[in-house]
Amino acid sequence: MSSKVYEKLPLSLDQQVILLKERGLLLPGNDEEKLRYYLSNVNYYHLSIYFKFFQHEDIFTPGTTFSEVLSVYIFDNKLRLLMMELLERLEKSLKCRIVTTLTSETGHSHCHLNPDIYRDSEHARAKIFKIYREEVEKNERETSIYHYRKKYDSPESPPFWATIELLAFGQTVKLFKTLNVHNRNLVSNTFGIDETLLSNWMHGLSIIRNHCAHHSRLWNRDLTVILKIPKKDKTYFVDNKRLYNQFLVLQILLNNVNPDSSWFERLTSLLSEYDIQPKNMGFPDDWETRLLKIIEA
């Protein structure tokens, strides 16, 4: 089997600008100045993800200006910030509900160390215990951990409400999935949905959280996790892998967590400000009507 060797050479800033011009990118007014700024501070490779939408076989659609590309890029940045804000609120709520539910159910501050609250899988339990241990070790100097260790010798792990604060969103989702069905249902009931839905939705949203944290594109992205659709709301969902269903799920959860959120108005304002076509994110033509019905449900 023959192997291919990567032989592309790095290009200077001037060479990058020339290449984009040769491929048909127009730079009217001060577009070249803006292009050079972004190539110097963002990276050609990162911007190329947005260039591709305006290209066919590396050639730009006739008439494409850098300002058009930049508009999408800035919109995507602001979309990620909006998503991060919503996901942070949701992550905090999930952690709080897991802790409140399980400590109330067990009456124990360190219930996360009790194997009985988890699934029968010894492998799954070992993985979550390993996460607890590693996160506590990494955060020894955190005020809560430092004071706990200074004052108490046993248990070695801090109480559940301190330990869970150290977990990332994705780790919190793993914790939830490792709980036994009874406890998953107890937590899910506080959101008013079934545990299979909450598990799937939180998994999908944690992937979005990772994209946001790593400055990855959200706009027009095909997502890897297919969200499960609740029967009572199935008419509001669409059959695609893009962002619309994620927003729908977020709103269903926010109806319980933060019913007064203004994210819908902020999203419509962003779409209007940057002249973005919602269909590129998988939004149906009547997306505003569908979301408003969910918001008002």
Contact 172, 164 (CB under 8 A): yes
Please name which of 234, 235, 211 lies closest in space to residue 223, comparing C-alpha atoms: 211
- Identify the burial level of 244 via C-beta atoms within 10 angstroms of its C-beta, where 0-12 means exposed, 13-18 middle and 19 or more buried: buried
Q: What is the mean pLDDT of the chain?
A: 94
Residue 192, in any domain of the structure: yes
Pairwise CA distance, residues 80 & 184, whole Å: 29
Query: Could you tell me if residue 49 is inside a domain?
Result: no
With residue 12 as reference, give the H or E element that holds it. Answer: none
Residues in the chain: 297
What does the block give as tokens for 154?
A: 């046993």
217: which 2 tokens?
């594109």
- Nearest in space to 91 (alpha carbons), one of 170, 19, 23: 170
Q: Which of 226, 222, 247 is nearest to 236 (CA)?
A: 247
Q: What gap in Å lies between CA 106 and CA 161, rounded to an integer?
A: 14
Asked whether the CA dihedral 81, 82, 85, 88 is positive or negative, the reply is negative
DSSP letter for 164, please.
Answer: G
Please state, in angstroms and rounded to a whole number, the distance separating the CA atoms of residues 70 and 38: 9
Both tokens assigned to 82: 């909006």
Q: Can you give the pTM of this predicted structure?
A: 0.92
The domain in which residue 282 lies consists of 78-295
Q: Is residue 47 part of a domain?
A: no
pLDDT tens per residue across all 297 residues of the chain: 678 898 888 999 999 999 999 999 999 999 999 999 999 999 999 999 999 999 999 999 999 999 999 999 999 999 999 999 999 999 999 999 999 999 999 999 999 999 999 999 999 999 999 999 999 999 988 888 999 989 998 898 899 999 999 999 999 999 999 999 999 999 999 999 999 999 999 999 999 999 999 999 999 999 999 999 988 888 999 988 999 999 999 999 999 999 999 999 999 999 999 999 999 999 999 999 999 999 887
Total of domains in the chain? 1
pLDDT tens string 189-227? 999 999 999 999 999 999 999 999 999 999 999 999 999
Residue 198 lies in a domain: yes
Is 37 within the bounds of a domain?
Answer: no
Q: Is residue 287 part of a domain?
A: yes
Task: Enter the DSSP assignment of 118.
Answer: B
In a domain, 206, yes or no: yes
Nearest to 86 by CA among 244, 263, 290, 210: 263
The verdict on residue 13 lying in a domain is no
DSSP per residue over 212-247, as a string? HHTT---TTPPPSSPPP--GGGGGG--SSSSTHHHH
54 Cβ contact list (under 8 Å, min separation 6): 60, 61, 64, 68, 69
Cα gap 175→170, rounded to integer Å: 9
